[in-house]
Amino acid sequence: MKVAATSVTLGNSAPLGHRQYLALALPLIISGISTPILGAVDTAVVGRMPVPAAIGGVAIGAVIFNTMYWLLGFLRVSTSGFTAQAEGANNENEMLASFFRPAILALIFGLLFIVLQQPIINIALPLIGGTKEVSVYAETYFSIRIWGAPFILLSYVIIGWLIGMGKVKLALATQIVMNMLNIVLDVVFVLGLGLGVAGVAYATLIAEVSAILFGIWIILKTKKIDFSKFNIPLLLEAEAIVKTVKVNRDLFLRTVCLLTMTVIFTVKGASMGEVTLAANAILLQIHYIMAYLLGGFANASSILVGRAIGGKNESLYKRAYILSAQWGILTAVLLSFAIMNFGNELISFFTTITSVQEVASSLLVWMAIFPIVGFWGLLLEGIFSGATEAKPVRDSIFMALLLFLAAIWFLVPIYQNQGVWLAFVLFSLGRSVFLWLHVPKLRSTKFC
């Protein structure tokens, strides 16, 4: 493997073109889409067991881990931003520090999850609900997979560091190795050895550990980071630590706002019956797929903006901003067109229940509107993350959450589930508009 040749090179003299932008974005899009595919395979494998409760147990266990890890997703995002800036400034010491600072945080949080595993499962299971049999399977799954917490969080740092360095193909390779090994071991452990739910958990645990080993090997091969230069004083620079803590704090609070919105959205749908809950869940999955697609462009923009700021290259920043807008608009329009023309086929893929299909179909217009109103907020978050300016992201999404809560309060009693989706669209619109208002200050702060 010619590791050093897999990064995207951006000269300071040549203008950034569409081909270079897509060379960054497409692997990141593929990497993002692999996440829901992995979840589908896990469900399909467990679904071949003769015990329906096993599916519910794995699903509940996955929800617990997804929530825990989602809240710590800032480890990847902030690592990408700090690394891109260090790479843009050609600062080798900061490249080293941008890896080790979040890596230490990842280990601390991962070990904390292991120590607190019993309180976590004791609190989570009653909150989520489910039968006694489902809870037993969920606890089995959780008690095995929790030992992978330090490894999965470290993988966030490794992937974030590789993305920040512009080595998106290697970041994609790391994630593909983890996901493909997980899928293969799922089949071997569950269908071959008959280990059931425990087999799914062991497959994920082994895949997470293997991804770390593969990722570290890749980082060593890039020769962009010299572990022999590691020293404590480098990591304890007060100004850098304060900046890191502030960025990660703000990104964490941003995720809390997102989680709050999602929980309220789900609860409101659940209060209207099982059919409405199922229809909303299907459309929310379609929304996630669209968000992952747009997220690839956001990550590409994050890399470019980080390099531009690190290298004091305002022309690169402007070009990255323009390309983000151009590809974001094009992708949003195409996604909206696809939903309006093929939305019913997508719904049929998720369910064969006629009543659920009918309710979901009646809500497709909101899915078609979402990419149009939401794409800019998602891409701007990439731009601000690359600039390591997370406070505007936090503030804008908090304002969007307040707008969502007001819309839920006033619209749901009148329009029922249509009101829930209108509130969701207003949240997405607010996320875009409120963050857009901070763009002029970002540019003036970083380049004037």
| pLDDT tens track, the chain, 448 positions | 444 444 555 544 456 788 888 887 888 787 767 665 665 566 667 766 666 667 667 767 777 887 788 778 778 878 888 888 888 878 777 888 888 888 888 899 999 999 999 998 888 888 766 667 778 888 888 899 899 899 988 988 888 888 888 787 888 888 888 888 888 888 888 888 878 888 888 998 898 898 889 888 888 877 666 666 666 666 666 677 777 788 888 988 998 998 889 888 877 887 887 788 778 878 887 888 888 888 889 888 888 888 888 888 888 889 989 999 999 999 999 999 999 999 898 888 777 778 888 998 999 999 999 999 999 999 999 899 888 888 999 999 999 999 999 999 999 999 999 999 999 999 999 999 999 999 999 888 877 6
Return the residue matching tokens 């179909």.
Answer: 361
CA 446 to chain centre: 26
Q: What is the DSSP letter of 89?
A: T
328-334 long-range contacts, CB within 8 A, separation 24+: 328/294, 328/297, 328/375, 328/376, 328/378, 328/379, 329/375, 331/293, 331/294, 331/297, 331/371, 331/375, 332/294, 332/371, 332/372, 332/374, 332/375, 333/371, 333/372
Residue 291 in contact with residue 262, Cβ under 8 Å? no
Residue 371 in contact with residue 294, Cβ under 8 Å? yes
pTM to 2 decimal places? 0.80
CA proximity to 40, closest of 263, 215, 288, 208: 288
